[in-house]
A and B are shown apart, each in its own frame.
Chain A
Amino acid sequence: MPLLEIKNLQIEFGSGASSVRAVDGISVSLEAGKTLCLVGESGSGKSVTALSIAKLVPSPPARYVGGEILLEGRDVLKMSSRELRDIRGGLVSYVFQEPGASLNPVFRIGAQIKESLKYHRPAVANDVEVVRLLKLVGIPAPESRLRNYPHEMSGGMQQRVMIAMALASQPKLLVADEPTTALDVTIQAQIIELLGDLRQKLGMAVLLITHNLGIVGDLADDVAVMYAGQIVEHGPVREVLQRPLHPYTQALIRSVPDLEAEVERLTAIPGAVPLLGSFPDGCRFHPRCPKAQSSCSAQAPELASVQSGRRVRCPLWESPAVNRSSTLHA
């Protein structure tokens, strides 16, 4: 049994005629100890999917209109509020983009971590354990940091504290939603390294959400690429990044400037990411797809299993026109 199994999840905002579907039929699973990466541009539904795992998308305005989220076999969407409280920051812990926004500015960081311990592991709600956690996330001289307020720390340090807090409950699943987006590349490299280390040491599963394809390869076992509320491609990380099958994945990879390449002109994707509520008919990528054919605007493609462990939402993935330039650095 996988640790996490999301089946055909559908989440809408608003009601009646004005309701819009932000997450439309997401299915993914994650084994204990593994790392899955959700990539996609802004508004593709990554955060809503990630938050839904602990039913954290507030409802209203959200409505969980369909599907299941099985955590160790139990459906989160059917849990009582008591059960939900226990899994939040327990079995599943979160780390967000803005560490500043998730830490309480008026409490010392030692006290905040202890608070989390009190709820989930009361027997060790003491300074010794807090120091151990801070050390685990690589904060130098942790004893001297217990009495710091968040604003007395840099963004990178705050993110480490957030991770320490998330680890307090010894979660089996760490959901990290754009954990490095607000940080400098140098600090991003530190945090990615830290997450990789922790996963090894603690054997927890990680769901990493990012719009940055460049950090996917460092951590993920599998990757799911999202576009307009759906998964368009899913598979083992090396395969997807080196031999993307979906035109969107291909175009996205090619639009990232490459330090090692010498190109005159970047390959851009025309148009813009579609807004929620105005997703195009047929294939949602068709107005921007360099390989679109007339059939693409008529028929909405299914996410089909192709090859071993790979899924692609494009019926034309095998056609030579789509496949020709599908390798990295093509």
Chain B
Amino acid sequence: MPLLEIQNLKVHFPVQPRLFGRAKEFVRAVDDVSFCIAPGETVGLVGESGCGKTTLGRAVIKLIEPTAGRIVFEGEDIAGLTGAQLRARRRRFQMIFQDPFGSLDPRRTVSDSIGEALDIHRLASDAKARRQRIDALLKNVGLDPSHASRLPHEFSGGQRQRIGIARALAVEPKLIVCDEPVSALDVSVQAQIINLLQDLQREHGIAYLFVAHDLAVVKHISRRILVMYLGRIVESGEAKEVCRSPKHPYTQALLSAVPVVDPDSKRQRILLAGDVPSPIHPPGGCPFHPRCPVAEARCKTEVPTLRELEPGRQAACHLAT
């Protein structure tokens, strides 16, 4: 049984219409998305800015109310749950954020930030157990327990990200949604955090939904990859396979744009024309057609569905085989 099964998830945000009397419009930030995460597995989510990655990640763990769809966590649909029922299940899924600065309260010590999670879920019987647990968590993420009484600003970006991870770990979650956890870090520190996340996964069997815009990072950490465009999944499959032979022209372009250090790299860059279109008025037919280098006439009118090409491999393109 998958740990998490997302079925036809939609998140639509209402936007102010520009003219009075105009019908109410929506940003289709997440539009009919389905996927599964197995226990202890990492699923990567990539796509350009604004394509809906954060919204999807937050909706999956109910930090945003989905407009429609099912969120089946350990066999139970949590999409409609609210209040105490939802709170009781919150322990099982956590989130870490891109900006470790923004996600930690600047006035609270590290020990308070981590302890808060323990308190909410009553995970420490007394003060001594609480302190021991915090020390163990700090050690687990590679921080010195003697720094527990320090404030966030006394730590570097990488250390702050470790604090965020310790806080998420405190409640022993089954799933952590990682929203660009290394994007704001120095290159030399990025690898430390990625290695830490992998170690913790091995130790505790946690599953990750790992959001990033750097495909090389995503490929490294993920077993499977979801490629998102304008709120929809346009390709999914084994990480290695998707990177070795991308089926969707968008994935091909994304891959070709990944910067490579070796100046003699043979990779041919596919330059996409223009920007991501507005998600309020997405193009008709294939939403990617205005930028697609191989679009055909039918792409302007016929919407490609996400089809299974081979077992475990899907793409939403008329031409994909």
Interface residue ranges, A against B (CB under 8 Å): 41-42, 140, 154-157, 184-190, 193, 211-218, 237-238, 241-242, 251-253, 255-260, 262-263, 265-270, 272-273, 275, 288, 328-329
Which of B158, B194, B219, B271 contacts A259 (CB under 8 A)?
B219
A267–B220 CA distance with the chains assembled, in angstroms? 12
Is B310 in contact with chain A by the CB < 8 A criterion? no
Enumerate B224-242 residues with CB–CB distance to A below 8 Å: 240
Min CB gap B179→A, angstroms: 16
Is B71 in contact with chain A by the CB < 8 A criterion? no
Which of A212, A252, A268 contacts B195 (CB under 8 A)?
A268
- Taking a contact as CB atoms under 8 Å apart, the answer to whether A328 and B198 are in contact is no
Which of A216, A266, A270 contacts B220 (CB under 8 A)?
A266
- Taking a contact as CB atoms under 8 Å apart, the answer to whether B264 and A238 are in contact is yes
Task: Given A252-B187, A259-B243, A268-B188, decide whether A215 and B259 contact each other with a Cβ distance below 8 A.
Answer: yes
- Taking a contact as CB atoms under 8 Å apart, the answer to whether B215 and A259 are in contact is yes
Is B186 in contact with chain A by the CB < 8 A criterion? yes
Min CB gap A180→B, angstroms: 9
- Taking a contact as CB atoms under 8 Å apart, the answer to whether B269 and A187 are in contact is no
A242–B265 CA distance with the chains assembled, in angstroms? 11
Residue of A nearest to B253 (CB): A186
Min CB gap B183→A, angstroms: 10
- Taking a contact as CB atoms under 8 Å apart, the answer to whether B186 and A328 are in contact is no
The 10 A-B residue pairs with the shortest CB-CB distance, nearest first, are A214-B259, A217-B263, A268-B191, A266-B191, A269-B188, A189-B257, A257-B216, A41-B186, A268-B192, A272-B156
Q: Specify which chain A residues have a CB less than 8 angstroms from the CB of B194 in the assembled complex.
A: 257, 266, 268
Residue of B nearest to A237 (CB): B263
Interface residue ranges, B against A (CB under 8 Å): 48-49, 156-159, 186-192, 194-195, 198, 213-217, 219-220, 240, 243, 253-265, 269, 271-272, 274-276
A253–B260 CA distance with the chains assembled, in angstroms? 10
- Taking a contact as CB atoms under 8 Å apart, the answer to whether B261 and A259 are in contact is no
A251–B217 CA distance with the chains assembled, in angstroms? 17
Residue of B nearest to A184 (CB): B48
Please list 15 pairs of residues, one from A and one from B, whose beta carbons are closer than 8 Å in the complex, sorted by A's number. Answer: A154-B276, A184-B48, A185-B213, A189-B269, A190-B271, A214-B260, A217-B260, A252-B188, A255-B188, A255-B191, A258-B260, A260-B260, A266-B195, A270-B192, A272-B159
Q: Specify which chain B residues have a CB less than 8 angstroms from the CB of A328 in the assembled complex.
A: 261-262
- Taking a contact as CB atoms under 8 Å apart, the answer to whether A211 and B191 are in contact is no
Q: Specify which chain A residues have a CB less than 8 angstroms from the CB of B263 in the assembled complex.
A: 216-218, 237-238, 241-242
Q: Specify which chain B residues have a CB less than 8 angstroms from the CB of A258 in the assembled complex.
A: 216, 260-261
- Taking a contact as CB atoms under 8 Å apart, the answer to whether A242 and B262 are in contact is yes
A189–B260 CA distance with the chains assembled, in angstroms? 11
- Taking a contact as CB atoms under 8 Å apart, the answer to whether A157 and B195 are in contact is no
A329–B260 CA distance with the chains assembled, in angstroms? 12
Q: Specify which chain A residues have a CB less than 8 angstroms from the CB of B265 in the assembled complex.
A: 217
Min CB gap B130→A, angstroms: 28
Min CB gap B194→A, angstroms: 6
Min CB gap B210→A, angstroms: 13
A190–B276 CA distance with the chains assembled, in angstroms? 13
- Taking a contact as CB atoms under 8 Å apart, the answer to whether B188 and A184 are in contact is no
Residue of A nearest to B217 (CB): A257
Task: Given A41-B186, A211-B187, decide whether A259 and B216 contact each other with a Cβ distance below 8 A.
Answer: yes
Q: Specify which chain B residues have a CB less than 8 angstroms from the CB of A253 in the assembled complex.
A: 261
Q: Specify which chain B residues have a CB less than 8 angstroms from the CB of A42 in the assembled complex.
A: 186
Q: Specify which chain A residues have a CB less than 8 angstroms from the CB of B243 in the assembled complex.
A: 259
9 more A-B residue pairs beyond the given contacts A259-B215, A268-B194, with a C-beta to C-beta distance below 8 A: A185-B215, A186-B257, A211-B186, A217-B261, A238-B264, A257-B194, A259-B260, A270-B192, A273-B189
